Structure 1
């Protein structure tokens, strides 16, 4: 009765929450439970022949070298994009945060423009720019004598991942720049004045003065960037479709190809792909939990220093 009384008393608040709860149930909670359910089924997704196999799909995944190759490429992509994106955006943020710099807002806008450009457009344009057949980048490298013949950036397994990593960093550099600029706004101006009196400049200023102050923000920015780098499906699909010869097939491409777009003549395996999706989701969940714990620890340490 007490619970009913509380519900009746706050009925308008719960009524306002109801649309959000319905949408969350339809597009968040139901897909999660459905993915776990299908991960325990042997099902192609195209017929009514569905068979419960328990954890067999997960056992098969751990024995699948193609799965581990895709997992390794996701880690490789993560290791290639996150440090470059963080360092470059922090350097730009330190420059653009200077109030004496003219046209800083214009430069910020220019860096941020790729962020709001559709991923499909970015992928198609860069595929043309990196083409070995009359591509502008190859033409420039040939003209200045850095290469003797065109490089097939997206057609070679040796260059495809570095090329995609470079495009990804270029596209999303602006969003990380905004994060750093927001963090730098919390550093008092008198801290910079005191550092100048002690002749602390450049890298020493960043390492010894700025980073300790914004460490809670730095931890959050790092882990947000890591989680974002694992969601690269649209860019790789528009640029390479996972090729050449699975050379750029990360986890998301593996899940998609296994579930819907098998190119080797085999029947799609929706249950197997769902199991891979569950493992990939647990990986992202682990990074999210790590973000929460690391941010809390960094905040407590900053408060202790203060």
Structure 2
């Protein structure tokens, strides 16, 4: 690439560099308005990631100035930590159980609420979405009272109906605590997945249904041969979005069970919090290492999500 001579006789910038600089200067106000967002993103997203990587290589309690650099020792300990693997197994169990149920149930509800002839459809949509915008910690505390074996409304109802002879300790029994937490989690976030499916249903043109009706297709045939095939590209995206959301169950587990009883609900996020901050001898370095490993798992799901979005766009363009 050749440089041109400036009017002053000196060498000018190459055309490509001059074009970039000119474009940036012409759009300087847009960059100026973006600057606060970039600063906040760097301060609260980029810097915590970098600092977590650094802290994960320290033997540090997070309080004093005594920071011993130990390299990858925290990661070695994490790979041999049975509680970390147990917590990861619990998190994956929650994903494997709740994600298919939540996606399938929300799809059925979306198909019903998408009917324009259904009365009070907007009211039902709002009622199902309200738990999703309610603070999770508040829901966790309230659910602790609801499932309380000593006078909780759930146990009172079961006793009145004669289903049980004595109160059930839903959150105090290791065999039922995790299932109770998963049920509350599904109820709280069902509205988010419902919105995904309702948005996907809006992409199906009404002319397609009119053509199917002209060909003599009834409601069931239109659902089977029109609606479900056209929703297929969205399925993998909604599954991955729901899986990533389900990994973030820290506040619900912490307020309902705090990882107990007997570590039966010890999700990975709760275990990281306990190691880094809540134990009698905090280990911020070890907690940071656990967080990095858990972040890598989230990154894998995010990569799958990107692949899923590409597949969905390709399937929609070819249909």
Same fold (TM over 0.5): yes
Deviations 1:79-137 (A, max 9, x none): 12111111111111000000110110111111111112111221111111111111111
Aligned-pair distance for 1:194?
A: 4.8
Please tell me whether Structure 1 or Structure 2 has the larger radius of gyration of its CA atoms. Answer: 2
Long gaps (5+) in structure 1: none
Matches within 5 A, 1:260-271: 260-262=277-279, 265=280, 267-271=281-285
Identify the residue that residue 111 of structure 1 maps to in structure 2: 128
Q: Residues of 1 paired with 2:223 and 2:252: CA distance?
A: 33
Identify the residue that residue 146 of structure 2 maps to in structure 1: 129
Aligned-pair distance for 1:205?
A: 4.9
Matches within 5 A, 1:1-306: 1=13, 2=17, 5-6=21-22, 7-195=24-212, 197-199=216-218, 201=220, 205-262=222-279, 265=280, 267-304=281-318, 306=319
TM-align CA RMSD: 1.7
Aligned-pair distance for 1:214?
A: 2.2
Q: Residues of 1 paired with 2:35 and 2:124: CA distance?
A: 43
Contact 1:123 1:235 in 2 (8 A): yes
Q: Residues of 1 paired with 2:189 and 2:243: CA distance?
A: 12
Aligned-pair distance for 1:236?
A: 0.9
Aligned-pair distance for 1:150?
A: 1.3
Larger displacement relative to structure 2 (10-19 or 128-137): 10-19
Larger displacement relative to structure 2 (192-201 or 225-234): 192-201
Aligned-pair distance for 1:19?
A: 1.1
Contact 1:39 1:275 in 2 (8 A): yes
Q: Residues of 2 paired with 1:24 and 1:113: CA distance?
A: 29
Deviations 1:251-282 (A, max 9, x none): 100000000001xx4x2111110011011111
Deviations 1:221-264 (A, max 9, x none): 111111000011111111111111221110100000000001xx
Contact 1:41 1:54 in 2 (8 A): yes
Q: Residues of 2 paired with 1:162 and 1:106: CA distance?
A: 29
Equivalences, count: 300
SS of match in other structure, 2:296: helix
Contact 1:86 1:222 in 2 (8 A): yes
Give the direction of change, closer, same or farther, for the CA distance of 1:111–1:289 in structure 2 (3 Å limit).
same
Q: Residues of 2 paired with 1:295 and 1:215: CA distance?
A: 12
Give the direction of change, closer, same or farther, for the CA distance of 1:50–1:219 in structure 2 (3 Å limit).
same
